[in-house]
Amino acid sequence: MARTPQPISGFPEWLPAVRLEELRWIDAIRATFERYGYGSIETPAVEELDSLLAKGETDKEIYTVTRLQGDADASEARLGLHYDLTVPLARYVAQHYNELEFPFKRHQVQKVWRGERPQEGRYREFLQCDIDVIDRDELPLEYDVEMPVVLHEALTGLGIPPFRIQLSNRKLLHGFLQELGIPNPVPVARILDKVDKVGLDGIHSMLLQHGLKDPIARRCMTLGSIKTDDESFADQVRELASSTTPNEMLVKGIDELAFVIRSVNDLRPGAAVVDLSIARGLDYYTGTVYEMRLADFEGLGSICSGGRYDDLAGSFINRRLPGTGISLGLTRLFAKLVAEGLIPSERSSPADVLVVLPSEERRADALAAAAALRERGLNVDSYLKPAKLGKQLQYASRLGIPHVWFPPFEDGRPHEVKDMASGDQAEADPASWRPA
């Protein structure tokens, strides 16, 4: 073939230095999930197409999977790559219902695939990091509080520019729309959700086109402009609804959202904000909804989504299984920071030390030194070709390996270790040396 391969559009791939940092993120995020008691599950990359098409806003994004030289095997299910981790979770809970403990808390860190046209922030393959809790019959609102608290903690310390998790509530939105005399709120909520894509003017004309009168459309848009750090959104909503006896759904939505923002503020001040522009296009959310944006990169859109769903697993099993969850679009966030030069890339090796091989005669000493250092848990790369020392030092330097180890040049002489940052070189014992 011998033509240089080209990247496949929409399928990101990192060089080792960037991947090292991505792994550090994944490890840190998982550690936080586990610190809150969320165990891992993994589901297959594929689901039956019927499952994938049962929920979700669109079917055009699905990749189907077919054997290149498949038999005409009628028993073979039609399969598609999962486009999120929520539908697989619902299927998993339904399938393993009798083997799971409830409340069922799980985290899931896996690739998902969508056949979208690739553009900035949109990938065809990307990594999602999800937590969800599902319980039987009833799930306390306190779990809606836990989602943003855990996710915010998971992302803290990774060097991400300022971000806050945005909270809204589907009951509030639907109740408000009912208050305005809009009997079927879902299509209107979907329009409001497109503000990122089409802007306020776009929303306005879509609402008019949908048949709303201008003053009604403007009140919808005013609702979407409400953003508060605390419960003060509640009075603004009540005033805008201008009803002395608001409907039950609106009251419940306001109460839930007030509880969630108050509780998040108690547990993790500043982690979240109420933002009523958040609607979430997917129609399975029934209460709290989440999104997240980077303050410095609003144009990137939401890098996190989630919310309360009361009937998702129920589409696979005849049980009421309410759940709540939050999902981080890690690739979208991470790739943006890579593009902005905000991801460090000095190191591309996990090694703490490179043991050089000055000459063939010193091979046994070099291997023994490497083994002694590894024995004590250090990550050690060992140069196995007796190349020129300059070349070996350059290799360490280019990979960002912070220390280079020299086995003794003559028997009986001590080992030496060089600190690549300072250039200092000193005697060291492989049985006791530790990096500073």
List binders of a copy of itself among 211-240 (CB under 8 A). Answer: none
Structure tokens at 80: 């598609």
CB 219 to a copy of itself: min, Å: 36
Give the nearer residue to a copy of itself in terms of CB position, either 104 or 233.
104
- By CB under 8 A, tell whether 328 contacts a copy of itself: no
Helix (H, G, I), strand (E, B) or coil at 264: helix
For 354, the enclosing helix (H) or strand (E) is: strand 353-355
Q: Does 125 bind a copy of itself (CB under 8 A)?
A: yes
According to the binding rule CB under 8 A, does residue 51 interact with a copy of itself? yes
Site for a copy of itself contains 378 (CB under 8 A): yes
The answer to whether residues 84 and 127 touch, using CB atoms and an 8 Å cutoff, is: no
Q: Which residues of 74-109 are buried (b: 16+ CB within 10 A; e: fewer)?
A: eeeeebbbbbbbbbbbbbbbbeebeeeeeebbbbbb
| 19 forms part of the interface with a copy of itself (CB under 8 A) | yes
322 burial class (0-12, 13-18, 19+ CB within 10 angstroms)? buried
Q: Smaller CB distance to a copy of itself: residue 94 or 338?
A: 94
Q: Which stretch binds a copy of itself (CB under 8 A): 132-140, 184-192, 219-227, 290-298?
A: 132-140
Please say which residue, 52 or 278, places its beta carbon nearer to a copy of itself.
Answer: 52
What residues are paired with 308 via a beta bridge? Answer: 324
Asked if 80 is part of the footprint of a copy of itself (rule: CB under 8 A), the reply reads: yes
Q: DSSP readout, 299-353?
A: GG--SEEEEEESSSGGGTSSS---EEEEEEEHHHHHHHHHHTT-S--S-----SE
CB of 331 to a copy of itself, least distance (A): 11
Nearer to a copy of itself, 220 or 261 (CB): 261
**Cα 295 from Cα 261, distance rounded (Å):** 19
Measured on CA atoms in the order 306, 309, 314, 320, is the torsion positive or negative? positive
Question: Which span sits near a copy of itself by CB under 8 A: 50-58, 160-168, 251-259, 294-302?
Answer: 50-58
Question: Which residues from 358-377 bind a copy of itself, rule CB under 8 A?
Answer: 363, 367, 371, 374, 377
Joined tokens for residue 403: 């220390």
Which of 140, 159, 344, 435 binds a copy of itself (CB under 8 A)? It is 140
- 327 contacts a copy of itself (rule: CB under 8 A): no
Kindly give the pairing relationship between strand 125-134 and strand 227-228: unpaired
Minimum distance of a copy of itself from residue 287's CB (angstroms):
16
What angle is formed at CA 356 by the lines to CA 353 and CA 358, rounded to 5 degrees?
160
* Beta carbon of residue 401, minimum distance to a copy of itself (angstroms, whole number): 8
Least Å distance, CB 357 to a copy of itself, is: 9
Q: What is the footprint of a copy of itself within residues 331-360 (CB under 8 A)?
A: 348-351, 354
Piece of the chain touching a copy of itself by CB under 8 A; list 72-80, 155-163, 247-255, 275-283: 72-80
Contact with a copy of itself (CB under 8 A) among 176, 285, 290, 316: 316
Q: Is 79 in the site for a copy of itself (CB under 8 A)?
A: yes
- Is-contact 372 343, C-beta < 8 A? no
State how far the Cα of 75 lies from the Cα of 83, in Å rounded to an integer.
24
Is the CB of 138 or the CB of 239 nearer to a copy of itself? 138
Stretch that binds a copy of itself, among 90-98, 200-208, 234-242, 300-308 (CB under 8 A): 90-98
Q: How many CB atoms lie within 10 A of CB 228?
A: 17
> Is residue 146 a contact point for a copy of itself (CB under 8 A)?
yes
Beta carbon of residue 45, minimum distance to a copy of itself (angstroms, whole number):
6
Residue closer to a copy of itself by CB (options 16, 211) is 16
Least gap, CB of 347 to a copy of itself (angstroms)? 9
Q: Which stretch binds a copy of itself (CB under 8 A): 208-216, 244-252, 311-319, 409-417?
A: 311-319
Number of residues that bind a copy of itself (CB under 8 A): 102
Cα 84 from Cα 91, distance rounded (Å): 12
d(CA 436, CA 419): 9
The Cα 149–Cα 167 span in angstroms is: 12
Among the listed ranges 134-142, 164-172, 175-183, 196-204, the one in contact with a copy of itself (CB under 8 A) is 134-142
Residues written for the chain = 436
**Interaction between residue 94 and a copy of itself (CB under 8 A):** yes
Under rule CB under 8 A, residue 11 binds a copy of itself: yes
* Rounded Cα–Cα distance for residues 225 and 26 (Å): 34
User: Least separation, in Å, of the C-beta of 174 and a copy of itself?
Assistant: 25
DSSP 364-383: HHHHHHHHHHHHTT--EEE-
